[in-house]
Amino acid sequence: MTEKEKKQSAQKNPDLLEKQPESNLKIDFKVSPFEKYQHKFSTSLVTLFLGMILVVIGFILLGYSEGSSQEANYIRGLPLLEVDALKRTEGMLKLTGYPVAACEISIEACRENFLYYKKIREEEIDGKYVPIREDDGWANFKLGEVSIIPSKALLLFDLKDFATREWTEEKDGKQVKYRETTKGVTDQEKLIVIGQLKNKTINSGSIFIITNKTNGNLINYLKEGNTFNWWIFKVSAFLLLTLGIASFVLPILVFLDIFPKIGIALMSIFFLLSALLAFVFVFLSTIVITFWWLIFVIVGIVIIMLVRIKAKNEQNKINFIP
């Protein structure tokens, strides 16, 4: 059967198309390179956009990491002022003294009058007490002539247990044990307040802390917490920058499936280079932010040296005039 007869037979019986050799079908239905990689192009562009976002978030976390590490240093640099020696009327300060509550809080089963209290109610479940409710309360107070409104403050208290009571109640036909513990701070404990003084009142500030810790213990506590946060921010920023930088080369790698082994090797190399570049960014940002003053000193020394060299060269030119 000639080629012409085959075509005529195929037109009369379309099912014969399925019986054609696979090589003929490939020629008729070949996909263009653009159509073949169209999906990968769109995916790569989306990934590139997400990578840019990851890089921006990474740099933001780097800024936060250095900001958190400076809090303890800032608090340590504030002088600790006794209420009797306070002469300032405004500004950030670290004030210490014994509180005088505007309205003392009395708790049932406790003889003490509380400045701050916390009640923790627990239920016995499978032989263990599990917290089911917490209540706390504040009393506005004064340190000397300064009024303290603590509602927005970060409370860093070493709470003492003052009373614990246990009882049994029926629940769902069973006898269940309960326990309630009262903890708190009384007006007999010396406090430290860090905040913004304005109109003889402290109710806010860039840092607003109320604590019954000593000054040394407070700084050590903040330093330990900030060190942990510092590492969390740094590691998170490193990972985000690595993924963000790696995504920038993804549009170039869309054709690497042509050579699978080479493609995997190149992607591994690009990822390692991205991790190395991210580490350099994290390291340099830490050095620059931490030792910014040293950069100014170095720049100042270089400028002075250049000015002196220039002045010396001009003097030498004058000396050699015949």
The answer to whether position 184 is within a domain reads yes
| End residue of a domain, out of 213, 236, 258 | 213
Q: Which range of residues forms the domain containing residue 269?
A: 34-78+214-293
Query: Does residue 219 sit in the same domain as residue 272?
Result: yes
The answer to whether position 238 is within a domain reads yes
| End residue of a domain, out of 213, 236, 269 | 213
For 166-203, write each residue's pLDDT tens digit.
889 888 888 899 999 988 888 888 999 999 998 889 98
Check whether 222 has a pLDDT greater than 70: yes
What residue has token string 């930088």?
Answer: 245
CA–CA separation, 253 and 234 (whole Å): 29
116: nearest Cα among 83, 157, 144: 157
189: nearest Cα among 103, 99, 102: 99
Q: Which residues pair with 137 in a beta bridge?
A: 117
For 143-174, write each residue's pLDDT tens digit.
888 888 888 888 889 888 888 888 898 888 88
For 69-92, write each residue's pLDDT tens digit.
567 778 888 889 888 888 877 889
| End residue of a domain, out of 213, 245, 270 | 213
Percentage of the residues of the chain whose pLDDT score is greater than 90: 9
What residue has token string 């020629």?
Answer: 27
Tell me how many domains the chain contains: 2
Q: What is the pLDDT of residue 116?
A: 86
Q: What is the pLDDT of residue 284?
A: 79
Residue type at 308? R
Q: Is 198 helix (H, G, I), strand (E, B) or coil?
A: strand
- Sign of the torsion formed by the C-alpha atoms of 297, 301, 302 and 304: positive
pTM of the model: 0.56
For 234-262, write each residue's pLDDT tens digit.
888 888 888 888 777 666 665 555 555 66
Q: DSSP characters for 123-141?
A: EEETTEEEEEEEEEEE--E
Torsion-angle region of 79 (φ positive above 0: left; ψ -120 to 50: alpha; else: beta): beta
What residue has token string 């030792």?
Answer: 291
Q: What is the pLDDT of residue 3?
A: 56
Cβ–Cβ under 8 Å, residues 271 and 239: no
The answer to whether position 9 is within a domain reads no
Q: What is the pLDDT of residue 33?
A: 46
